[in-house]
Amino acid sequence: MIFGLSTLPLLFTSIASCGATAISARDINARQTCSNGPASRNCWSGGFDIDTNVYESWPSTGQTVTYDLRITNTTCNPDGGPKKWCALINGQYPGPVIRANWGDNLRIIVHNDLQNNGTSIHWHGIRQLNSCIQDGTNGVTECPIAPGTTKTYEWRATQHGTSWYHSHHTSQYGEGVVGSIIIDGPATANYDVDLGVLPLTEWFYEQIFVLLWKDLYGPGAPPASQNVLVNGSMIDGAGHGRYTKLSIQKGKTYRLRFVNTAVNHMFHVSLDKHPFTVIAADLAPIKPYTTTDLKINIGQRYDVVFTADQDVSNYWLRVQPASGGCGRSRIYDNAAVTVGAILHYDGAQDELPASTGATLSPACADEVFSPFKALPVPSSTFAARSEELDFISGRGNQNIVNWFVDGSSMDVDWEKPTLDYVRDGNTSYLSSMNVVEMPEANQWYFWIIQNQLNANPNIPHPIHLHGHDFWLLGSGTGKFSGSTEGLNFDTAIRRDVATLPASGWLVLAFPSDNPGAWLMHCHIAWHASQGLSMQFLERKSEITGTVGSMADFDQGCTEWSRYWNSPTRSGVDEDSGLRRPPPPYQFSGPGSGI
């Protein structure tokens, strides 16, 4: 069984340029006998390998991998500094790594054990092919999971590589509801040992949702964080906490996976004396290239390999925010502290590294590379089928800082998600839902995202799309010319987060091959809460026929409405994560009155 869904081959042949690669019987034999190992990471099994077009085919393992995630109300201090309120998964920060094989089914049971917050878990980067209802976006694909209730998510790992999952409810992932995902599969370079994932984030000593309110009412400049965490730990500069330590052996080659799980910061990463060979960006394999300064914006992932070919010793893994409105942390004010983690060779002394490394640039921009497999996009329909989406900030009512897409600040109703409209056949979408329809099946749609030249603040934004990888046809500064000249239709990068430059543009394309309501938003959590998002409503008449139960959806909404409308409820922050708080502003928690 090669195709996960019987309709897929047909579907893709109708997008001629998506170019399904013909595999001859001889190739398949060769591939089937080729098994994944340290010297053959390009192989996988059963005729699948690094050359497989993952939008079209994936293994059918018949395996279901199950995880239980229990979200609790607790405190934490991952850097040893002050304890603050945290929401954690299974009592750990970050949450457990979810790991499966390419082609597996996942079944993840989320228990909301918080007393006074909903939740909603989004599986970042996972395509959710024909399973939009499992996307975990409250206000779009589900109602929040009410306190004391449980929701089971089920999806198929049709892609492979590194990703993450996080709460899509308020800015709750910044409070701790976050973890990594590894889907094991083939790779574009060989390595001996997979070291796993290093999630990177800034760390604030205040609650993220309180900072949102400061940001809303304040001058608009995001606050500086107190620290930066690598795999959930760092020292705090006052002798507390510990560094994450990676233990390696001289002579071996290692794979390491980075995820930026931050609320606000873009990072540069470097490993002293050990250049990275970058092999994947988000969930897409790329042509390996080497760098000593890897830029990772929020939501992005990079998989790298490096060789332990230096003297047996300790080396710094350095992590530094980009400048230009892309992050600022007070830990860097302390010159005695090196921010990052330690690479420790077996046999070396257990001491802090004395290594020196590359000087990291402050750029707030994406890496430049090529996809491993080129999947061309037709340029002939660009003029007819491209649409501009304008991103801009401004002041809304009560002088609150808001962000707008085409003049409209997103505002979802978490008691009436988009899929409710779809099921009811109700097309009276509120303008604040920022719905853009993609009615035609299996066509390329092109989107020009223009960061307005007079935006204030005028800063880059990490733009993330649900339900698809996009083909990044181009990006630049100034106003997009409208011409296809300079756009890359033949070897475009595919990924799910790209950085929209300040006063600049992105041109994205993706085919309408996945019915659903798919959010596209800035992944700076506060900007999403300030309205910087929109949703593509793709082939709406086919959505309810896709995987997932509307009965579960309805039950979740009933439970949420019962909780939210209960007279004894004490949660007061009305931000769903995708809406500016509507007036009257009821916020009265810590941080109010600023």
Ligand X SMILES: *[C@@H]1O[C@H](CO)[C@@H](O)[C@H](O)[C@H]1NC(C)=O
Q: Which stretches of the chain bind ligand X, using CB under 6 A? A: 73, 85, 114-117, 170, 195-196, 198, 231, 244, 246, 424, 426, 428, 430, 570-573, 589
Shortest Cβ distance from residue 86 to ligand X (Å)? 10
Q: Which residue is nearest to ligand X (CB)?
A: 571
**Residue 522 interacts with, from Cu ion, ligand X, none (CB under 5-8 Å by kind):** Cu ion
**Residue 571 interacts with, from ligand X, Cu ion, none (CB under 5-8 Å by kind):** ligand X
C-alpha angle 428/429/434, rounded to 5°? 155
Residues in Cβ contact with 335 at an 8 Å cutoff, skipping those fewer than 6 apart = none
Q: Provide the token pair at 46.
A: 């059963």
Q: Provide the token pair at 249.
A: 């052996």
**8 A C-beta contact, residue 261 and residue 173:** yes
Residue nearer to ligand X on the CB measure, 57 or 117: 117
Q: Which stretch binds Cu ion (CB under 5 A): 168-176, 330-338, 437-445, 523-531?
A: 523-531
Is residue 461 at the binding interface for Cu ion, with CB under 5 A as the rule? yes
Q: Give the integer Cα–Cα distance in Å for 325 and 270.
A: 21
Strands (E), 377-423: 386-395, 401-405
Q: Give the integer Cα–Cα distance in Å for 251 and 269.
A: 23
Q: Between β-strands 314-321 and 340-345, what pairing exists: parallel, antiparallel or unpaired?
A: antiparallel
Sign of CA dihedral 309, 355, 259, 509: negative
Q: Provide the token pair at 433.
A: 């839902």
Shortest Cβ distance from residue 234 to ligand X (Å)? 13
Shortest Cβ distance from residue 526 to Cu ion (Å)? 8
Residue nearer to ligand X on the CB measure, 129 or 146: 146
What is the CA 397 to chain-centroid distance, rounded? 30
CA-based nearest residue to 340, from 181, 228, 508 = 228
Shortest Cβ distance from residue 558 to ligand X (Å)? 17
**Residue 324 interacts with, from Cu ion, ligand X, none (CB under 5-8 Å by kind):** none
Q: Between β-strands 150-156 and 178-184, what pairing exists: parallel, antiparallel or unpaired?
A: unpaired
**Residue 572 interacts with, from ligand X, Cu ion, none (CB under 5-8 Å by kind):** ligand X
Is residue 524 at the binding interface for Cu ion, with CB under 5 A as the rule? yes
Residue nearer to ligand X on the CB measure, 406 or 574: 574
Q: Give the integer Cα–Cα distance in Å for 132 and 25.
A: 35
Shortest Cβ distance from residue 259 to ligand X (Å)? 11
**Residue 461 interacts with, from Cu ion, ligand X, none (CB under 5-8 Å by kind):** Cu ion
Is residue 527 at the binding interface for Cu ion, with CB under 5 A as the rule? yes
**8 A C-beta contact, residue 42 and residue 49:** yes
Residue nearer to ligand X on the CB measure, 11 or 229: 229
Q: Between β-strands 64-76 and 105-112, what pairing exists: parallel, antiparallel or unpaired?
A: parallel
Is residue 464 at the binding interface for Cu ion, with CB under 5 A as the rule? no
Residue nearer to ligand X on the CB measure, 133 or 433: 433
Q: Which stretch binds Cu ion (CB under 5 A): 125-133, 235-243, 436-444, 455-463?
A: 455-463
**Residue 589 interacts with, from Cu ion, ligand X, none (CB under 5-8 Å by kind):** ligand X
Q: Give the integer Cα–Cα distance in Å for 538 and 422.
A: 11
Residue nearer to ligand X on the CB measure, 3 or 85: 85
Shortest Cβ distance from residue 530 to Cu ion (Å)? 8
β-bridge partners, 88: 72
Residues within the interface to Cu ion (CB under 5 A): 461, 522, 524, 527
